[in-house]
Chains A and B, each alone.
Chain A
Amino acid sequence: MSSEQEQESIRCLVAKVGLDGHDRGAHVIARAFRDAGFEVIYSGLHKAPEEIVQAAVQEDVDVLGISILSGAHDTLIPKIMDGLEEYGAKEDTLVLAGGVIPEEDREELMAEGVAAVFGPGTSIEETIEFVRENAPQR
């Protein structure tokens, strides 16, 4: 029926996992996403991978942005990806990683299902553009 005026909005979860206490980047990204018109849920610090998965599934986010500066990305991100898969949410969630992630680790993360990695100094505009272009249509 024509009254069903759609009111879609891109929903994002900005997540901090593990013992990593660096939250400046996550705050910068959360605010930038908000200003871009997205709905942002911020996980807060020190979350376990399962908690991130729970939030991503329940909030039904289009985008899951994981911020990691601790160097533990290679163990934590696969756990999150497995959790998403368990709930059937892996395929249509755009997963991004940001923070301090060495060049040589990126390929492996992409193979896990991470769509893109944004290191220190990446432009906010570029990131937002990427989200707009790649957020799942569902």
Chain B
Amino acid sequence: MSADEELLEDLLAGKHRALARVISKIENRSPGYRDLVSELYAHTGDADVIGVTGSPGAGKSTLVDKLAETYRDRGETVGVIAIDPSSPFTGGAVLGDRIRMASTVGDMDVFVRSMSARGTLGGLSTATADAVKAMDAFGKDKIIIETVGAGQNEIDIVRTADTVAVLVPPGSGDEIQTLKAGILEIADVFVVNKADRDGADRTVQELRDMIQLDEGGGMAGGSGHHSQEVIDAHDDWDPEDDIDEADAETWSTPIVETVATRGEGVDDLLEAFADHRQYLVDSGEHAEQVRGRYAEEIRTLLREDVNAVLEDRLAAAGGVEDLAEAVRQGETDPYSIADDVLAPVETCLDDLEIDNG
């Protein structure tokens, strides 16, 4: 048995160190990591994946800790991936989320893993998705991804999750205005954490207004859960009004207040997660989501592979530096170089088509 096969076997057998090693291989993109991840797929699909995002210091880690603790009380195993996308020029980072996750220390059935960006943010969402696969295959029931919510890359990261909670602490009014488009798009549940602070009610109201505005005047009943009336009303929904959603149930983003430091509101939040999960399955959106995710993964992998082929071609043609210098000297131009570099690849592909045809 090869070392990697052994590693995979140990992971599937529930050995913590094997899971840790596999995630490292994924992060490092060690030789053979792709085969390893490819083997993992057959064993995945059972975990619920939850994303927790929000501005720095919103209380994400504290809340994730309490979520993990509550899941454990219910007998479920938990994996946590805490991502710190900020790394200075040195490439080094102090990963500080773990320190807040102390409620479950000593319990190996909560597996917390900290990850940094290592210079390439784009790669981080792939690494996150693969690490989720590893935890899923290991047998974790719930997997929570924590990341700071700022830009597109973080949005890509939380897309790995089935359900995304966005933390909005009290007094984020201005922020709500500026983040509006981005967070509305990704939030499945809003969490007004630090609800012990002044202004929580106002923040809840601001979020509610924003959601209603987005839903076109609150047709779906504002925030909260779907009452039976609302669902019934869908039966005679005017299809002109809402063509795509004529039959499907719609999801209206609920707002849950929490005090993470004291564990308050955590049960309500878990209920909202469970409701969203149910909605995803019932509406068929889950299948859609998963398909979309895999499509993106396939594209990303292919792009990586093709890029690698191109880098090899470039190197074979003398390296991009020399070619660029040749352009600077007026000897050639980028278009000609691109054609020349790609020509052998194209010839190869043409030959293939002839062979097959």
A59 touches B94 (CB 8 A): no
Q: Which residue of B lies closest to A51 (CB)?
A: B105
Distance A55 CA – B93 CA, assembled complex (angstroms): 17
> Please, what's the 1-or-0 string for B85-109, where 1 marks a CB less than 8 Å from any CB in chain A?
0001011111110110010011010
CA distance A60 to B94 in the complex (A): 15
The tally of residues in A whose CB lies under 8 Å from a CB in B reads: 37
What's the Cα separation between A1 and B30 when bound, in Å?
11
Pick from B28, B88, B99: contact of A6, CB below 8 A: B28
Min CB distance, B128 to chain A, in Å?
Answer: 14
Main secondary structure of the interface of A (DSSP, over half): loop
Q: Chain B residues near A3 (CB, 8 Å)?
A: 304-305, 307-308
- Whether A60 touches B20, Cβ cut-off 8 Å, given contacts A30-B94, A51-B105, is yes
Q: Across the interface, which residues of B come within 8 angstroms of A11, CB to CB? A: 24
Within 8 A of B (CB), among A1-36: 1-9, 11, 30-31, 33-36
Decide: B95 and A41 in contact? CB cutoff 8 A: yes
- Are A40 and B112 touching (Cβ within 8 A)? no
Contact mask for chain A residues 81-116; partner B; CB cutoff 8 A; 1 contact, 0 none? 000000111000000000000000000000000000
Contact of B17 with A by CB under 8 A: yes
Q: Which residues of chain B have C-beta atoms less than 8 A from A50's C-beta?
A: 106
* Residues of B close to A47: CB separation below 8 A: 105
Contacts of A72 in B (CB 8 A): none
Known: A1-B305, A5-B29, A87-B16. A59 touches B98 (CB 8 A): yes
* Residue with the highest number of chain B CB atoms closer than 10 Å, among A11, A33, A50: A11
CA distance A41 to B101 in the complex (A): 12
On chain B, the residues within 8 Å of A40 by CB distance are 92-95
A71 within 8 A of B: no
Interface stretch of the complex, out of B50-58, B114-122, B277-285, B331-339: B114-122
Nearest CB of chain A from residue B97's CB, rounded to whole Å: 9
**B120-162 to A contact mask, C-beta < 8 Å, 1/0:** 1001000000000000000000000000000000000000000
Partner of A1, one of B17, B20, B308: B308
CA distance A39 to B111 in the complex (A): 18
Map CB proximity to B onto A51-86 as digits: 1 under 8 Å, 0 otherwise.
100110111100000000000000000000000000
**Chain B residues with Cβ under 8 A from A127's Cβ?**
none
| B93 partner residues in chain A, CB cutoff 8 A | 34, 39-40
One of B17, B28, B90, B119 near A36 (C-beta < 8 A): B90
| 7 A-B pairs closest in CB distance | A3-B308, A60-B20, A34-B92, A44-B99, A51-B105, A37-B91, A37-B92
Q: What are some 17 contacts across the A-B interface (CB < 8 A)?
A: A2-B309, A2-B312, A3-B308, A4-B34, A5-B308, A6-B28, A8-B28, A30-B94, A34-B92, A35-B90, A43-B99, A44-B99, A51-B105, A58-B112, A58-B113, A59-B113, A60-B23
